[in-house]
């Protein structure tokens, strides 16, 4: 029989998300006729995972007694990559050794093994590196859908999208996915001492067409005089991607043409999305939100398609692995429960995108 070890929670804490976590060992009920058993290879610690532990995320797993805990519990984590250990005898779509990611959120991924009851709830990601496979399902899919699902881009036109938080993991994938589709990117980043160096990396390594600072973003003279020379003749700016809010979101919205879309997917500044009234009345601006969890619940095939497209792009060397942008936390199989918990807690409390590798 299998022995599983999972990071679980039964309650929530807004003050200290790590305080609700514990490591639980159990012998799962496996029905080999109907379930896929998989070994965890890696999982990221995403902001949404922490928000779930805090009890402030609108989507959450059901807590159950299925793991043999005293109180109903859920396994933490929503994303991760697994290696298939066994498949039901009649299952044709998967084989032992395949790398897979869960299609839906709330499956519980912070665990050394998992059982999946439907092979169709898994997406194959063979051929990717661990860090890419472990993070493609949220940041990769988000970036892909933001670029491809809202605008009917013309080919051969001078098409631009503008985005803030240009240094984020999602934005770096947006930049690359857009470039492949012949869409130029104007990426806004916060002012910093090494602005030129960061901008150069975003342009050279990730293919951002032009990087500007938040002070340039907010400067009306820059918008009127310099921006047109950056965009060039007959530029179309139909999409602004906002993950910051506040003044940054109004400033990127001002760069849009008439009847364009401001698409909000994050709120890093914790400020509301404020938009000039005139943009709505005189420029026909539409403001919408994107949430990968809800998008997948409504149209799971779009996520499958996005992952499949991304896998091909990564395998073809067209996208850069997020490995260099992430901090790897290794868990030795012989690590004690306490050591495993410490790795997770440190990950939650540390800056940067943390990936836990088994
Ligand atoms: P990263 O940790 O890679 O990047 C965070 C970004 O936010 C950096 O660019 C950072 O810029 C910027 N930032 C941090 N604090 C502030 C602040 N106070 N004001 C302005 N900018 C700030 O994040 P991810 O790429 O993983 O995620 C980016 C955003 O997208 C998050 O808000 C996340 O919740 C959201 N997201 C939403 C999804 C959805 O479905 N809606 C799915 C996936 C992610 P700097 O370099 O200046 O520090």
pLDDT along the chain (358 residues), means of 10: 94 97 95 93 96 96 96 98 96 96 97 95 97 97 98 95 97 98 98 98 97 98 98 98 98 98 96 96 98 97 98 97 94 95 97 94
Residue closest via CA to ligand 1's atom 30 equals: 266
Domain boundary among 274, 293, 312: 293
The answer to whether residue 303 is domain-embedded is: no
139 CB under 6 A from ligand 1? yes
Q: Which helix (H) or strand (E) holds 308?
A: helix 300-315
Atom from ligand 1 closest to the CA of residue 294:
40
The answer to whether residue 98 is domain-embedded is: yes
The answer to whether residue 299 is domain-embedded is: no
Q: What CATH number corresponds to the domain at position 340?
A: 3.90.180.10
244 CB under 6 A from ligand 1? yes
6 CB under 6 A from ligand 1? no
Same domain, 151 and 107: no
Contacting residues for 282 by C-beta, under 8 A, at least 6 apart: none
Residue closest via CA to ligand 1's atom 8 equals: 168
167 CB under 6 A from ligand 1? yes
The answer to whether residue 301 is domain-embedded is: no
Same domain, 183 and 56: no
| Integer CA distances (angstroms), 323 to 44, 209, 306, 328, in order | 11, 22, 20, 8
Q: Which two tokens stand for residue 62?
A: 């059901």
296 CB under 6 A from ligand 1? no
The position carrying tokens 């959450």 is: 60
Same domain, 102 and 196: no
Which range marks the domain in which residue 201 is found? 140-293
CB 264 within 8 A of CB 239: no
- Residue 67 among the catalytic residues: no
Same domain, 87 and 199: no
Same domain, 120 and 165: no
Look at residue 160 in the predicted model and tell me its pLDDT: 98
The answer to whether residue 307 is domain-embedded is: no
Catalytically annotated residue among 57, 67, 144, 314: 57
The answer to whether residue 300 is domain-embedded is: no
Partners of residue 22 on adjacent β-strands: 8
| Percent helix, percent strand, percent coil in the chain, to nearest 5 | 35, 25, 40
Q: What CATH number corresponds to the domain at position 182?
A: 3.40.50.720
Same domain, 187 and 82: no
303 CB under 6 A from ligand 1? no
Residue closest via CA to ligand 1's atom 23 equals: 168
Please provide the DSSP assignment of 231-289 as one string: H-TTEEEEEEEESS-HHHHHHHHTTS-TT-EEEE---TT---B---HHHHHHH--EEEE
Same domain, 214 and 113: no
DSSP letter (8 states) at residue 20: G
DSSP letter (8 states) at residue 64: B
DSSP letter (8 states) at residue 154: P
Partners of residue 353 on adjacent β-strands: 326
Q: How many CB atoms lie within 10 A of CB 78?
A: 26
Look at residue 136 in the predicted model and tell me its pLDDT: 98
Query: Alpha-carbon distance 50 to 347, whole Å?
Result: 11
User: Distance from the CA of 150 to the center of ligand 1, in angstroms?
Assistant: 21
195 CB under 6 A from ligand 1? no
User: Distance from the CA of 165 to the center of ligand 1, in angstroms?
Assistant: 6
Query: Alpha-carbon distance 288 to 263, whole Å?
Result: 5
User: Distance from the CA of 266 to the center of ligand 1, in angstroms?
Assistant: 7
Same domain, 159 and 287: yes
> ipTM for the complex?
0.99
Look at residue 1 in the predicted model and tell me its pLDDT: 79
Query: Alpha-carbon distance 100 to 83, whole Å?
Result: 6
């Amino acid at each position: 029989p299998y022995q599983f070890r999972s990071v679980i929670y039964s309650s929530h804490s807004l003050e200290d998300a790590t305080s609700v976590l514990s490591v639980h060992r159990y012998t799962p009920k496996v029905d080999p006729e109907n379930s896929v058993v998989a070994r965890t290879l890696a999982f990221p610690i995403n902001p949404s995972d922490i928000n779930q532990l805090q009890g402030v995320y609108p989507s959450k797993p059901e807590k159950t007694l299925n793991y043999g805990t005293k109180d109903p519990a859920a396994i933490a984590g929503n994303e991760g990559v697994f290696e298939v250990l066994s498949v039901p005898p009649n299952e044709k779509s998967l084989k032992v050794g395949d790398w897979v990611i869960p299609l839906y959120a709330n499956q519980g991924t912070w665990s050394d093994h998992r059982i999946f009851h439907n092979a169709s709830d898994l997406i194959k990601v063979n051929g990717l590196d661990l860090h890419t496979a472990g993070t493609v399902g949220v940041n990769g899919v988000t970036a892909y859908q933001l670029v491809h699902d809202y605008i009917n881009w013309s080919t051969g036109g001078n098409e631009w999208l503008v985005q803030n938080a240009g240094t984020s993991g999602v934005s770096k994938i947006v930049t690359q996915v857009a470039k492949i589709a012949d869409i130029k990117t104007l990426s806004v980043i916060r002012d910093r001492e090494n602005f030129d160096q960061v901008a150069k990396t975003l342009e050279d390594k990730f293919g951002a067409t032009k990087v500007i600072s938040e002070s340039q973003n907010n400067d009306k003279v820059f918008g009127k005089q310099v921006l047109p020379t950056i965009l060039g003749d007959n530029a179309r700016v139909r999409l602004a991607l906002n993950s910051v809010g506040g003044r940054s979101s109004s400033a990127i919205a001002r760069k849009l043409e008439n009847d364009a879309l401001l698409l909000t997917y994050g709120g890093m500044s914790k400020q509301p999305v404020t938009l000039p009234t005139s943009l709505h009345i005189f420029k026909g601006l539409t403001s919408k939100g994107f949430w990968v969890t809800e998008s997948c619940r409504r149209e799971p095939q779009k996520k499958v398609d996005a992952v499949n497209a991304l896998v091909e792009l990564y395998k073809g060397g067209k996208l850069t692995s997020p490995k260099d942008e992430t901090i790897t936390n290794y868990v030795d199989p012989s690590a004690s429960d306490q050591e495993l918990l410490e790795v997770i807690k440190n990950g939650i409390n540390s800056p940067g995108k943390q990936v836990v590798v088994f």
